[in-house]
Amino acid sequence: MFIIWIQYFICAIFSFTFIKFAHATHTEYEDLGFYPQKEHSLMRPYQGSGMTIPNWDIYGHTIVSSNFIRLTPDQQSRYGGLWNKIPITFPYWEVHIEFKISGHGKDLFGDGMAIWYAKHSMQPGNVFGSADYFWAKLRQTEHDTYLAIRYYNDTLTLMTDVDGSGEWTDCFSSQGVYLPLGLYLGVTAATGDLSDNHDVISIKTYRLETPVHLLDKLNERAMIIPHALSSAHPRDHIDDDHSSASGRMSWLRFFFYTFLAIIVLIVAVVIGLLFYQKRQERQQKQGAANFFDYEDEEDNLTINSSTSLDKKIPEDSSSTTLSKTVNKSINVENNFEKDGKFCVEFIDDNIDQRMARLIESNLNSSTTKCSNTFNNVQKLSTRQAVDKIIAGDHDHVNLCGFKGREQKLELLDYAILSGDKYTITLVIQFLEHTLKRSIMFYELIRRPIAADHYLIYLHSDGRLDEQLNIMNMMGRYEDAAFASYSRAVSPSTMNKTDAQQQQQIRLLERALSNFTTGGNELIQYHSLIQEHITLLKHQLPIESDDRRRCEMILHSNSNVENVDSNIEDNQSFVIHQPRPCLIGLSLMKTLYYCHLYHHHLPDNNFASPFHLKKQFHISERQFLWIALQSLAKTMRWQEIDTLFEYKSWLGSRKIRRNIIPIVDIVEILQKNSAPKEMLEKYLDLVDDIEKRLQLAKEFQMNKYAADILIKLRDRKRLNELRTSILGKMNEMDVQRYIDNALIATTIKWRN
């Protein structure tokens, strides 16, 4: 069924529904003349420039392929449109449209697709990707769907071919439809929460012959306002009017939704009760643990004040060491984003075991008070303690005097407000030794500044696993992922033994998992790290074999040819010393290494640069550029020619000049002292003769430069060249060559 909506700025829109139509023939139109209109048609293959098609505009999420145009992919909240750039200027026409609607769903489908004949094109809207409100269902058919829209003698006819039989079936016909000239043809589609693929395969537009009695009224037809005798008045738009599309909800559906809502409510209540019960139990256990912590901490800390606290929180001679540690942490903080070596393994102490240990410690401990040193220290408030630490008066500050959890957290808050890195780190170290780990982590996560300083402190202390776990607990997945990757590729892991390299690969594979669970922002790096791991696995056997062979060659007293059957590789190891370690090199440097030592190997060899090119999909331009540099360094001039030469259709050998600029090739050859004959051969390929002359002068190829000037018949610059080499003994032959050219009568000089 097609619904026709006519407004001041829109002529018509068609949409599909599931209604069974009667079949009919078309005898009244059999004698019409059909004239294909190329500018209003669309035929595959679509070979536009980029995302454009001649005579057609696209917008939204439209995708152009060679065989179809996808208005919307099978994704949610997508829209797209395809509009003819040229308005239809003939009164009667017929349009054949081949399309396909498909998706992953069976019974649920996207919003639909609409075909427009409108006054204004390229106006995206929120229904079907354009400007009005209809719905449709015509999808998942075995064949492409064909649609024919005919407008002739003020009659609009719709015909369909759904089953691919090649025969048109009448859908409907409406008389008294008056459409003006100059309107645009378009196809749009949209998806919402449900989605489908909406593909346009072809559009064919035909101009129909105008009846003789209407030829005189064509000028008047361009001025008419679009309308239909049988059209209804436009409906008022009501937002979210789902009942207009699906009807009122049946009692069965109402019962189903009500039952589902009750089930969800019961599950939510049960989960809430369980969560409340667990929370109460946790608070009771935490309260008991805090009781023992607060009551026993004073005795435990005073007994161990001369031992454990002297070791862990030194106030006198150890303060210098602590200051160095903090200063190191500050330096690490400046490179926080670069290093990012943050790793963690959270240990959640069992609360019952913790309580038992505290009870046993309380029963076995002595009632000895703090040492005389601490007894002589004046008791300070948290604010005064922080001020004295900042002032450097550590001898008169005893952090052991702060017993309760609230006092310790207040001390931390004052340290954060002070902004002093040393003070914050000192207080965090004190809390680490006097608070339970679970409580400390919880409070640090609530204070991001303190958490950052704690992570820096752990980094300087080498506790990388703990750092990574804390980063994950704080939700900083991106930092944790890059930290684990930075740890895997740090210089300390770049060792030369095979076992240590295998360990590095395992660290990288472990870091790779963080890039798959850290969110969409990290997924883009997953393939890059995977390629890094693949490259390391490719480098490891090559490095192992080359190291073995190189050691055998250098320590062998026999001839090089007797060490291995691969003589050319052995000579390369002898000539190009010291041999660099292949492990850890980038892809391009690895390619350079393989060209330098293994260029002659076939592409099925693991160490061959041609095998590396295939495995990592290296472009031809990159491959030739690296090969040119390595072969020029080893002075393999004949292999360079082989690299760039190819056979033409006539059998002659030519040099490829469209991949790497000839000027760059010549510069590399000259830098590596290539023979003059080879330089001249490649210089001849430089199209710009002035650039060729400039390069010849730079490379001190004066005879070649003189030949260019003679060819240009430029006597003035030839004399200047002669003057520049006058008196040089090694250029005497060039001077005589230029003198003979200047006195030659066969050359007609321009100046």
- Give residues with Cβ within 8 angstroms of 134, minimum separation 6: 3, 5, 13, 15, 112, 114, 127, 128
Tokens 């500044």, located at residue: 449
Distance CA 88, CA 37 (A): 10
Please count the other Cβ atoms lying within 10 Å of the Cβ belonging to residue 472: 20
State the DSSP H helix or E strand holding residue 576, giving kind and residue range, or none if neither: none
Mean pLDDT of 463-480: 77
3-state secondary structure of 274: helix
Distance CA 269, CA 276 (A): 10
Task: Please tell me the least confidently modeled range out of 253-267, 490-504, 605-619.
Answer: 490-504
Give residue 205's pLDDT.
Answer: 87
Q: Helices 587-598 and 620-633, interaxial angle, to 10°?
A: 50
Distance CA 281, CA 617 (A): 59
Beta pairing partners, 88: 183
Mean pLDDT of 146-154: 83
8-state DSSP, 731: G
The CATH number of 12-246 is 2.60.120.200
Q: What is the mean pLDDT of the chain?
A: 72
- Residue 563, pLDDT above cutoff 60: no
Distance CA 72, CA 187 (A): 11
Beta pairing partners, 145: 99
- Residue 70, pLDDT above cutoff 60: yes
Give residue 483's pLDDT.
Answer: 78
What pLDDT, in 10s, does the model give residues 419-434? 888 888 888 888 888 8
- Residue 262, pLDDT above cutoff 90: yes
Give residue 365's pLDDT.
Answer: 39
Please count the other Cβ atoms lying within 10 Å of the Cβ belonging to residue 466: 22
Give residue 478's pLDDT.
Answer: 76
- Give residues with Cβ within 8 angstroms of 431, minimum separation 6: 408, 412, 440, 443
Distance CA 94, CA 156 (A): 10
Higher pLDDT, 34 or 709: 709
- Residue 13, pLDDT above cutoff 80: no
H runs (alpha helix) in 556-658: 567-575, 587-598, 609-616, 620-633, 637-644
Distance CA 115, CA 97 (A): 9
Please count the other Cβ atoms lying within 10 Å of the Cβ belonging to residue 320: 10
What pLDDT, in 10s, does the model give residues 564-602? 445 555 666 666 667 888 888 889 999 999 988 888 888
- DSSP per residue over 52-81, as a string? -BTTEEEEET-EE-SS-EEEE-SSSS-EEE
| Dihedral in degrees, nearest 10, Cα atoms 308, 314, 316, 319 | 160
Number of Cα atoms under 13 Å in the Cβ half of residue 76: 3
Higher pLDDT, 707 or 162: 707
Under a CB-based contact definition with an 8 Å cutoff, are residues 191 and 77 in contact? yes
At 470, list the tokens: 């804390």
Mean pLDDT of 90-117: 77
Number of Cα atoms under 13 Å in the Cβ half of residue 516: 9
Give residue 378's pLDDT.
Answer: 63
Task: Please tell me the least confidently modeled range out of 158-172, 325-339, 664-678.
Answer: 325-339
Give residue 238's pLDDT.
Answer: 55
Structural Rg of the chain based on CA atoms: 42
- Residue 105, pLDDT above cutoff 60: yes
Task: Please tell me the least confidently modeled range out of 70-79, 100-109, 318-327.
Answer: 318-327
- Residue 671, pLDDT above cutoff 70: yes
Three-point CA angle 488, 489, 495, nearest 5°: 95
Please count the other Cβ atoms lying within 10 Å of the Cβ belonging to residue 729: 5
In angstroms, the Cα distances linking 653 to 75, 172, 371, 669, 676 are 53, 68, 95, 20, 20
Distance CA 412, CA 277 (A): 32
Give residue 49's pLDDT.
Answer: 44
In angstroms, the Cα distances linking 550 to 486, 558, 569, 685 are 31, 14, 10, 41
Instruction: At 115, give phi and psi (nearest 5°).
Output: -115, 130
Beta pairing partners, 99: 145, 200
Please count the other Cβ atoms lying within 10 Å of the Cβ belonging to residue 602: 8
3-state secondary structure of 129: coil
Higher pLDDT, 494 or 483: 483
Beta pairing partners, 184: 118
Under a CB-based contact definition with an 8 Å cutoff, are residues 588 and 622 in contact? yes
Give residue 582's pLDDT.
Answer: 84
Domain residue ranges of the chain, discontinuous segments joined by +: 12-246, 285-476
Give residue 46's pLDDT.
Answer: 72
**Among the listed residues 653, 582, 601, 591, the one whose alpha carbon sits nearest the alpha carbon of residue 621:** 591
- Residue 134, pLDDT above cutoff 80: no
Mean pLDDT of 267-282: 85
- Residue 414, pLDDT above cutoff 70: yes
End-to-end CA distance of the chain: 85
At 197, list the tokens: 């693929």
Under a CB-based contact definition with an 8 Å cutoff, are residues 189 and 74 in contact? no
- Give residues with Cβ within 8 angstroms of 568, minimum separation 6: 600
The residue type at 381:
S
Give residue 261's pLDDT.
Answer: 92
Three-point CA angle 57, 61, 66, nearest 5°: 65
Give residue 15's pLDDT.
Answer: 36
pLDDT-derived band at 212, boundaries 50, 70, 90: low
* Burial state string for 546-582 with b = 16 or more CB within 10 A and e = fewer than 16: bbebbeebeeeeeeeeebeeeeebbebbeeeeebeeb
Under a CB-based contact definition with an 8 Å cutoff, are residues 313 and 394 in contact? no
What pLDDT, in 10s, does the model give residues 676-686? 888 888 888 88
What pLDDT, in 10s, does the model give residues 331-380? 333 343 334 333 333 333 343 344 334 434 433 433 333 444 444 556 77
**Among the listed residues 378, 443, 383, 444, the one whose alpha carbon sits nearest the alpha carbon of residue 411:** 383
3-state secondary structure 265-301: HHHHHHHHHHHHHHHHHHHHHHHHHHHHHHHHHHHHH
Higher pLDDT, 124 or 240: 124
Give residue 81's pLDDT.
Answer: 87
Instruction: At 36, give phi and psi (nearest 5°).
Output: -60, 140
pLDDT-derived band at 264, boundaries 50, 70, 90: very high
Q: Which burial class, exposed, middle or buried, applies to 591 when counting CB atoms under 10 A from its CB (0-12, 13-18, 19+)?
A: buried
Task: Please tell me the least confidently modeled range out of 26-35, 89-98, 432-441, 572-581.
Answer: 26-35
- Give residues with Cβ within 8 angstroms of 182, minimum separation 6: 87, 88, 89, 222
Give residue 556's pLDDT.
Answer: 65
pLDDT-derived band at 22, boundaries 50, 70, 90: very low
3-state secondary structure of 380: coil
Distance CA 240, CA 573 (A): 76
Under a CB-based contact definition with an 8 Å cutoff, are residues 342 and 452 in contact? no
Under a CB-based contact definition with an 8 Å cutoff, are residues 11 and 179 in contact? yes
Tokens 């002297």, located at residue: 310
**Among the listed residues 236, 247, 59, the one whose alpha carbon sits nearest the alpha carbon of residue 133:** 236
What pLDDT, in 10s, does the model give residues 286-308? 544 443 444 444 444 433 433 33
- Give residues with Cβ within 8 angstroms of 671, minimum separation 6: 632
Tokens 């303060």, located at residue: 319
Mean pLDDT of 32-60: 74
- Residue 390, pLDDT above cutoff 70: yes
At 714, list the tokens: 């430029």
pLDDT-derived band at 618, boundaries 50, 70, 90: very high
